[in-house]
Chains A and B, each alone.
Chain A
């Protein structure tokens, strides 16, 4: 049962805000984000690290938050889908998902957007093969991925055009 060990205090940064959490050490980061912090943009699809709907960034690394015991996030910087846009200004990836039709039902979209943002941070001009590999940990049942690939390409172009 969850209350076998006592709750612990954990300090970290979530979307640029410092937070102190009280949680069971083995609680999943996914549940802590959704239930303690009410950041429900991070979704649960499978609970076993296969679908990527729960993707977040920990210190810039893409992870499945359903597989992370909350104890591991002490002192880290976490970014969720709620922290991707700057105020009203959408991230280039988000804008491209809208214009290319990269989101259909939307349930994989937060994780997919996070994965795409992370891909472009690591690889600013990815090839088609790099896009496919970079997003292979995020399942989408609606789009067949084609419009998502188009969105990533469009996001690159709009970032380039600005810089």
Chain B
């Protein structure tokens, strides 16, 4: 039976719809304490004193400060600059300073409010531009966590020959991941047994690595188990290391299990968000509409510590020039420090920011040279055999023109544009239609996958069932289901005969983090080769013939395990042939494969209330082979909804480095009543090195909505707006100004 391409039932579907799935806050351990975090109230400063006040029975509390840390006081990631608990200095207003634990969570909250941390303030920086201008040096020598320089051709020579030179500036705001389940963990720890943490997370081995350093323990003394996770979107890539460390420190000191689950306000204000960005474009074009040169300056605000900003910046940089062929490109990019909580991973990982800038800018260029946005793009789309900004030769068949034509047919684009232009003349409701064309690379950037050396295991049981051993987490996207489909298809077994082991570092190999649209394409391929290894072993041992039935397979497993013991197979990542990346020059094959897409938005702007609404959305993409049509469409629809939120709803309001609208009441995400019909279409062009031809899709849908919607708003109103989120109040400013 063919399984790939079929909408088989989600593995954990029944438990989820009946309320039987157990998330971290649903678990209770005997003798368990609750933990809480006391944070700085000051954006930057030196800790002078900590006192315990109020009518609180302080002797009942477990108290942990930086002095109690048995190993290194740093959250191990790329650079070792972020402490678990501030010692002498604080660098952002949500910085953890002290931990408390108590059996009564109500008393705990009371106590948390009565810890007084006296801090002598130091000058702080609260905006990306102040950081770039070095208003104050708050990190390293120049506030710069990381910079990249991509150079293709000779940009300096193009300006003299250009018929047109077009410049523009574009800005994007922070965005909260807003998974509906807040961050949470439970830890048990003791010097003799080591540390075990259960939690809501994307990357168990990231947490493992951080705890090894924090406790200075051997790797086998640390165990990290992912429990059912209520959404991540990048927000549970890095932060779980912090909260896991905190719970483990309290457990270590108290000798009892400790649970820390954030409430919504703490989760929103203290954990990571999408990096705000600022992009400048300078573009040289010919009269015929050909791109001659692009100069791009891309800056993201990393917050107070380096965390993952270097990698976010990398993806944003590589995507900054889009799916176009341009012979001369220079991209300079920087991630800079501010005294805000560190910004982190969020679906798209830098690409939505730089693609927003590019896709808005190209409309400006088109207008300047007298082309329609679509005609200008058609003259510059990249093709097989041409090179991207990093000089990566595209070796797959790319048909952006075809995608654009199909997207226009699906939306009746040209007819609508004409109709709206007429009906807008006498209406306060201005309608418009716009689009964005873009690509998204799947898997880790450059040499990332090679360094990761991900491993997936498969084991057979004596009943002939196959269990997949991987650290890749199910966080709602359907990992368990897709892995089972790939494995069952490869072995010609029933879907139900495949099990997925719980991601537990004590039991599964490190298949890498669950990020970067890599789980299906990269890890799925390892699943495929690991299970084929089982079959190979059975064939070599003479217990199975090439043409077998599921019953033959079961019998062979039973006999093999009877004769030899365990039947396991492991598969380790090997880069597909011909992938070369130069980290020094930032040049070469940035990604094994790209997904290609055209998104079209139809909008209405009310010129009296200044509300902008999306009326219809079409998402058309080429993602290789679609493994599971329902899950794949679900990924696209969910990503588009988040993209609509990013564009029109979700504004983080900052005050002295702190998010002050840290509630669902005043940070607004789209509801069922706000979302337009989202119509999803796939073109399938199987990718040779993906499992059954699949490429990654998870992040792609985050890239297109913002530029498509603002391009549509420009079409509706004639006004060019180059920042998001676009709230009614900023529309008032822009449109009100236009009316004088």
What is the interface of chain A, defined by CB distance below 8 A to chain B?
1-2, 34, 39-48, 50-51, 53, 80-82, 84-85, 90, 94, 97-110, 113, 131-133, 135-149
From the candidates A82, A101, A140, name the one contacting B19 in the complex (CB within 8 A). Answer: A82
CA distance A1 to B105 in the complex (A): 10
For A128, the closest partner residue in chain B by CB is B677
Establish whether residues A104 and B672, one from each chain, have CB atoms under 8 Å apart when the complex forms.
no
Contact status B20-A41, CB under 8 Å? yes
Query: Which residues on the B side are within 8 Å of A101 (C-beta)?
Result: 7, 10, 630-631, 633-634
* A45 CA / B267 CA spacing, docked (Å): 11
Closest CB-CB distance, B633 to chain A, in whole Å? 7
Extra A-B contacts (13), CB below 8 Å, given A98-B14, A113-B17: A40-B26, A45-B264, A46-B663, A48-B664, A80-B19, A82-B19, A90-B17, A94-B18, A106-B15, A141-B178, A141-B642, A146-B637, A147-B634
Give 10 nearest A-B pairs by CB, closest first: A41-B19, A105-B476, A107-B230, A144-B641, A106-B16, A81-B19, A104-B476, A144-B637, A50-B664, A40-B26
CB neighbours of B12 from chain A (8 A): 106
B9 is an interface residue with CB less than 8 A from chain A: yes
For B9, B230, B631, B639, the residue with the greatest tally of chain A CB atoms inside 10 Å of its CB is B230
B665 at the interface (CB under 8 A from A): yes
Q: B180 touching A105 by the CB < 8 A rule? A: yes
Asked if B179 CB lies within 8 Å of chain A CBs, one says: yes
Query: Given the complex, which residues of A lie within 8 Å of B14, measured CB to CB?
Result: 90, 98
- In the bound complex, do residue A104 and residue B19 qualify as a contact, i.e. CB atoms below 8 Å apart? no
Interface residues on B, range: 35 or more
- Complex CA distance for A146 and B231, rounded to whole angstroms: 17
Chain B residues lying within 8 Å of A132, measured Cβ to Cβ, are 672-673, 675
User: B16 touching A103 by the CB < 8 A rule?
Assistant: yes
Q: Which residue on chain B has the smallest CB distance to residue A99?
A: B9
Is A136 in contact with B673, judged by CB distance below 8 angstroms?
A: yes
Residue in A44, A90, A144 whose beta carbon sits within 8 Å of that of B18 in the complex: A90
Task: Please report the C-alpha to C-alpha distance between residue A39 and residue B22 in the assembled complex, in whole angstroms.
Answer: 11
Q: Which of B277-334 contact A (CB under 8 A)?
A: none
In the bound complex, residues from chain B placing their C-beta under 8 Å from that of A82 are: 18-19
Interface check B107, CB cutoff 8 A: yes
* CB-defined contacts of A41 to chain B, threshold 8 Å: 18-20
| B392 located at the interface, meaning its Cβ lies under 8 Å from any Cβ of chain A in the complex | no
A to B CB contacts below 8 Å, 15 in the list: A46-B664, A103-B17, A104-B478, A105-B180, A105-B230, A105-B231, A105-B476, A106-B16, A106-B228, A108-B180, A110-B17, A113-B17, A141-B669, A144-B642, A144-B675
Give chain B interface residues in 641-665, CB to chain A under 8 Å: 641-642, 663-665
User: How many angstroms from the CA of A136 to the CA of B639 in the assembled complex?
Assistant: 19
Q: Which of A46, A105, A149 has the most C-beta atoms of chain B within 10 angstroms of its own C-beta?
A: A105
| Complex Cα–Cα for A57 and B143 (A) | 53
B10, B22, B182, B478: which has the most chain A beta carbons within 10 Å?
B10
